[in-house]
Amino acid sequence: MSEQKFKHITERSRAIYGQGFIPLHRPVFEGNERQYLVDCIDSNFVSSVGEKVTEFERHIADFTGAKHAIATVNGTAALQVALQLAGVNRGDEVLVQSLTFIATCNSISYTGGIPVFLDVDQDTLGLSPTALEKFLKAHVEMRHGQAFNKGTNRRIAACVPVHIFGNPCRIAKTIALCDAYGISVVEDAAESLGSYVGKQHTGTFGKLGAFSFNGNKLITTGGGGMIITDDDELAHRAKHVTTTAKVPHPYEYVHDEIGYNYRLPNLNAALGCAQMERLPQMLEIKADVARRYTQCFDDMGVSYVHALSGTTSNNWLNAIIFDGLEDRNAFLKYSNDAGVMTRPIWRLLNTLSMYADCQHDGLENSRWLEDRVVNIPSSVPDGAFDH
């Protein structure tokens, strides 16, 4: 790509966001955030017990159509607990894409699980059902209804597809394949609140799904996460283990297993309640930003990561694809020097020292994308909300 094109891309960001430094994604607190925080402080319920936590859970359940939502301190904790509840035990293998944020894989490690890295689709950046099927056919042996990796002799307990940057992956095909092999699916929907396949919300396809409300996400609680599921028993277990496994009692401290102090504090949930009130409008604004980028990119011949037909992205982070590593690096330098924040996609997790020994399938598309994908500024522009 020529420097002229780099200029056009950064100018497009400037046309949307104006002059001065442009961050990649900034949070917006223009609704009831302050009021709800003050309400929370006034109530003295600032920690993990309080009505804002249950209200925030209800907001997420209603919005996504999930039967249950359980709030957690962050998305990583949500994923960890979801994996445990999906049946991942120490020494089990978990199928996961290598092209994702480190937290996806760390959550597997926290359960004692061992990641096996599979390739992604070039168009969605999410787990490739083609790669999954190839792996299952070549490496899996069924024993008493459970999938075992013939090479390692370990049980394959779960699969974690990720909806990258808000773009839904081919989740229905992934679930169908995993079902056929008795493998539980936990959807990493950390980045995809407001993203759909048809009319069904991402995160509701698997046995459990997990969201993140980190400060860089579409809506934020400062730090926070959520487990969603339609399964009554799993929902009950999720609440129990994220609240130190305390057995309800008016004053005695009885805990019936090793639980976690993972429940979202009321203060953070207060932010979440206010943010949820703005979510539909925020999604419209984000769709408009994406439209403004793509209109000009198509004319310029810049390749952009579009949502698959039949799916709707929340347009959390816009992403473009460069011709190769050199081209990508030149653009990263050009744009960041110009005060327009851009970031490369993550390094493949199997290239990091702690995951270097994990099995992988060659990761052809992942390696191709690793060298080429860059995120460009994607916030809600200043003043975009009508008050």
What are the tokens at 15?
A: 């046309």
354: how many CB neighbours lie within 10 A of its CB? 11
Phi, psi of 193 (to 5 degrees): -65, 125
Number of residues that bind ligand PLP (CB under 6 A): 15
Q: Which stretch binds ligand PLP (CB under 6 A): 40-48, 62-70, 183-191, 232-240?
A: 183-191
Q: Residue 98 interacts with ligand PLP (CB under 6 A)?
A: no
Q: Residue 377 interacts with ligand PLP (CB under 6 A)?
A: no
Q: Residue 171 interacts with ligand PLP (CB under 6 A)?
A: no
Range 113-142, binding ligand PLP (CB under 6 A): none
Contact 268, 224 (CB under 8 A): yes
Q: How far is the CB of 386 from ligand PLP (least distance, A)?
A: 29
Contact 264, 224 (CB under 8 A): yes
Which residues, in sequence order, are CB contacts of 78 under 8 Å at separation 6+?
70, 72, 210, 211, 212, 225, 226, 227
What's the number of CA atoms in the CB half-sphere (13 Å) around residue 119?
A: 19
Q: Residue 104 interacts with ligand PLP (CB under 6 A)?
A: yes
Q: How far is the CB of 106 from ligand PLP (least distance, A)?
A: 9
Q: Residue 101 interacts with ligand PLP (CB under 6 A)?
A: yes
Q: Residue 75 interacts with ligand PLP (CB under 6 A)?
A: yes
Q: Residue 167 interacts with ligand PLP (CB under 6 A)?
A: no
In the stretch 198-237, what mask flags binding to ligand PLP with x, by CB under 6 A? --------------x-x----------x------------
Query: Closer to ligand PLP at the Cβ: 75 or 113?
Result: 75
Q: How far is the CB of 77 from ligand PLP (least distance, A)?
A: 7
Phi, psi of 81 (to 5 degrees): -65, -40
DSSP 217: S
Rg, C-alpha atoms of the chain: 21
What are the tokens at 306?
A: 């579009």
Instruction: Provide the binding-site residues for ligand PLP, judged by CB under 6 A.
Output: 74-76, 79, 100-101, 103-104, 162, 188, 190-191, 212, 214, 225
